[in-house]
Each structure stands twice: as structure tokens, then as C-alpha cells.
Amino acid sequence: MDSVIVLFNLKEGADPAEYQAWARSRDLVEVNRLPSVENFRVLRCVGLLGGTDAPPYQYAEVIDLNSMEKFGEDIQSDTVGQLAAEFGQFADSPIFIHCQDL
């Protein structure tokens, strides 16, 4: 299975409560509706195991796909374009990692 993991921090001045409300009401709903998506989760990073340091990222997204090819088509849609623009108002230099199960 292909997955996309997105790691990011919020932009300076972005309100975490506002971002989380948007993620619950828009991002999670719309991305989970995409035909290529098996499951989509947004995670708040709360700490490093075995330590007290802050994690390097505030949030992680995990997008499990049923088709990488179809996902490439889905992300060209107007809906995803609008979501990306909204996401860009919150996320500071997100990193998108394409992963595959062993």
C-alpha cells in the first residue's frame, strides 16, 4: 500500500485551535471522500518518546491510498486545490513523504 506522510508546523501567528477546527471540519472530511484515499488521519505531535524535548513537528498527516495513480488525478481537482490553498494558510513548509509498505 502507498501512503503519504505530511510533517509540518504551523506558521508563526497561526492559531492552533483554528487550524484544528478547520482540519476536523474540512480537511478530514474532504480528503477522506477522495476515491483514491483509503484512510486519512491528522495527528497532533505531543512529545518524543523517552524524553522531554518538544518534537520537531507539531502535526503529522497520514494518507493511506488505494491507488497512487488515482491520487495523482484526485489532487488535480478543484476541491483539493481549494483545500491546499486553505492548508497553506496554516502550514509552514510542509514535507510530503511518499511511503510504501514493506
Tell me the pLDDT of the chain (102 aa) as tens digits. Answer: 999 999 999 999 999 999 999 999 999 999 999 999 999 999 999 999 988 889 999 999 999 999 999 999 999 999 999 999 999 999 999 999 999 999
Cα–Cα–Cα angle for 79, 91, 17, nearest 5°?
A: 95
Contact predicate 43/59, CB 8 Å = yes
**Does the pTM of the predicted model rise above 0.85?**
yes
The confidence score (pLDDT) of residue 48 equals 94
Whole-angstrom distance, CA of residue 59 vs CA of residue 75: 21
Strands (E), the chain: 2-10, 37-44, 59-65, 91-100
50, 82, 97, 100, 101 from 60: Cα distances, Å: 19, 20, 11, 17, 18
